[in-house]
Homo-oligomer: A and B are copies of this chain.
Amino acid sequence: MQSAIPPPVTQLVEAFSRLPGIGPKTASRLTYFLLRAPDDYSLGLADALAKLKTLTKLCGSCFNITVDDPCPICSAGGRDASTIAVVEEPLDLMAIERTGIYRGRYHVLHGAISPVSGVGPDDLKIRELLQRVAGAGVREVIIATNPGLEGDATAMYLQRELADSGLIVTRLARGLPTGGDLEYVDSVTLMRALEGRS
Contacts and interface: CB of A to CB of B under 8 A. Distances in A.
Interface stretch (A8-16, A113-121, A166-174, A180-188): A8-16
A21 interface: yes
A104 interface: no
A159 interface: no
Contact of A72 (B4, B20, B35, B41): B4
Interface residues of A, number: 61
A44 interface: yes
A192 interface: no
A22 to B, nearest CB: 8
A48 to B, nearest CB: 4
B34 A52 contact: yes
A136 interface: no
A14 B41 CA distance: 11
B36 A46 contact: no
A146 interface: no
22 contacts: A3-B72, A4-B93, A4-B94, A6-B56, A8-B48, A8-B51, A8-B56, A8-B67, A11-B51, A12-B45, A15-B48, A15-B49, A19-B30, A22-B30, A31-B52, A32-B91, A35-B90, A39-B53, A42-B50, A42-B53, A43-B49, A49-B49
